[in-house]
Structure 1
Amino acid sequence: MKSKHLFVLFFFLFNATLFCQVPQSFSYQAVVRNSTNELIKNSPVKIRISIGYYMAFGIPPQLTFFPVYTETHQTTTNENGLFSLMVGGGTPVSGRFDTIPWSGNTFYIKTEIDPANTGNYTISSISKILSVPYALRAERSDNGIVAYGLIDSDGTVLAGSGNFTVQKTSLFGGGLYYVSWNNTSGIDNNKLIVSITPYDTASYTTLYTYSCRITDQGFMVSFYANEQLMSVKFSFLVINPY
C-alpha cells in the first residue's frame, strides 16, 4: 500500500467586525496537500488545535511546547483543498479558550490533522501567532506565569522558576509527584491553568494528570507516567489567566 504524506499551509483570518461583547474565537484556515503537492479536495478531516507557549529547559536547552488550550474540529476540505474553522468554537479537550492570557505573552498554535478520520493525527505543525485580535488581548491584560519547571523521575528539579517544591511518593510505582508552591500573591488557585508536557517522549508514551487540588500552602498538582519511570522527565507550566 502506498503511504500518503500530507502537509498543510496555514494562515489566519481575524474578523474585523466590531462586537458589543468580546468574541471568544477567531477564524483559521489551512490548505491541505499530499507529498506530491496535490490538493486534498472535498475530503472530511479531523483537526486538533492547541494554543500554548514555547519555553526552554535543560542543559543544553530544549524547547518545549506547553499547550494551555486544546480543542478538536470535524470539517471538510473544499474543491481547493481548503478548510475553515473558528478557533475557540471547537470541542474542548483541555483548558478554556476564554482564559488564555493573550496580553504580554507570545503564543503558538499547533495544528494536527487526521485526514482519514481514524483518530490518528498524521500531520503536525506549530506556528507563531503573529497577531491576536485586539479585543481578546485587551480582555486579558493582567496575566502572568505563576511557576514552571523541569523535573526528573527522582523528583529532582532540573530547571525552573525556583518558587515551587516537589515531593515524590511511592504510589503508582513511584510515578506520582506533587508540585506545590505558596500562594503569596492572592491568586485564585481554582482559576490557574496547568500544562504538563513530556520532556523526552521516548521514555514513555502517556503522561496522565492524576489530580489538581488546593492545599493550605497553595496550589498542588499530582501526575504520573504509565510506563517505566527510569529517565523520565516532564515539564510543567502554571499561568494565572486573570
Structure 2
Amino acid sequence: MKFSHKIQLFLFLLTNTFLFGQTPGFNYQALILNNEEIQIPGTNVLENKVPLGLEEITLRFTITNETAVEYIEEHTISTDENGMVSLIVGEGTPISNTFYDINWDGKLKHLNVELNILNDNDGFVFLDSQKILYIPQPGSGNGNGNGNGNIKIVNSLGDLSPPYQLGDIIWLTEYGINNNPSLMIWDNTSWLPVNADFDPTNEFGLIVVANENIRATQFESPDIGDQVWNQTCNCIEIYNGTHWVSFKNMKAQNGLYISDNKVKLGGILIEPTLITTSATNTFAFAGLQESTNTEDQIVVMDKSTGVLRQKASSTLHQKKQVIIIASDGQLEFTTPLNITNSDKIDVFRNGVRINFVAINNTTIKLEQEAKCYQDDKVRIVQLY
C-alpha cells in the first residue's frame, strides 16, 4: 500500500480579486491528487482520486502577457491532510522581476503553474496555464481603455463616442436596475459588465452548495472536473463525467490503521472478517519465525465455520492404553482403539518395547520371538 507523490489532477481555485495595498497579490487555492494505483484491502478507490496529503512542495508561478514573461515567483508549502494548499500569489520569493512590475492594463494575461514535489527529486513539472481575470488599475486618462492603464469614467453609455475597439474598458457610475457602479467591456457588439456574475459555475473559486439539490441547480450540465464544497457531506465533490465523486477525510478501521497519512495493515478487528480463497487465489504467510518453545500455542481452524482458534500443542496428540495379562503362548491382542496408523501404536511386554504387525483394524500380532508366558504383562499404548 504505497502512495506515490505524483499529480493526477490539479484544480485551480483562483479568485479574481486583486489586493493593491501593502501586500499586493491574489488568492490561490488548489487540491492536489495522487495518480498512482493504490490497493487498499476492503476499499474501492474510484480512479485513484486520493488527495496527496501532508507533502512538502514548491509551486512556481509565472505571469505572462501575449509576448513576454512579466513575473516569476516560488512558494514552498506543505499540503494539508486533505491535499489542499492556499497562498497569495505576490507574496512568494521573486525569481524574475517583482509583483509591482506587472502592468495591469486590461490585456490578456496567463498564470502558468509548475510543481516540484520535494521528496520525489523530479524537479519542476508543468501543470497548467489559466487566463487571469482582473480589473485594470484605474488611471487619469480620458480614453475608452486604450491599453495604457487609463479607464474612462462615464455616467451613462450615451456619454461615449464610437468607434470602440474590442476589449475597451470603461467605468460606468450607474448600471442595472439598482444603478450600481460597474466596470464595462466592449465585446465588439455591446458593452458588458465585467464584475457581474451571471454564471457561478465558471468561477475559479470553489462553489459552496448546501446539498445535492442545490448542486444540481448550480450545475445543470456539469463538465468533467467541476468541483463544489457540499455542506451536507462536509466534503469536496468532483464531477468525473458520470457522477459526483466525494473526497472525505480518510479513516481506517477493522484491521487497518493510518500512520504518516498512509493506510497500513494492522489494528483491531471491530467486526467479523472473512477471507475467501480459491484454487488460484490462495492465502499464504511468508517469512514466519520458527517456534522452538514447546509451550507455544497451535493455530487450528474450526471445521464448520473456518474461524481460527488457538490450541495447546500438548492436546494435539492424545493417547489411550490398555494392560493385558497374557496367557501362555499368546501372540495376538486387541487394541484399545481402531487401528488407523500402526506408527501410532507402541507395545510393551513386561516393560520392554517389542515389534508387532496389524492383522486387522482391531488386532495386532507380536513377533514370534516375543511369544508370551503365563501372566506376562502386555501394555498397548495408542495415540489418536
For the aligned pair, the TM-score class normalised by the smaller chain equals 0.3 to 0.5
Q: What is the TM-score of this pair, normalised by structure 2?
A: 0.30
Which structure carries more strand by proportion? 1
Q: What is the TM-score of this pair, normalised by structure 1?
A: 0.46
Which protein, 1 or 2, shows the higher relative CO under an 8 Å CA cutoff with sep ≥ 6? 1
- Which has the greater radius of gyration? 2
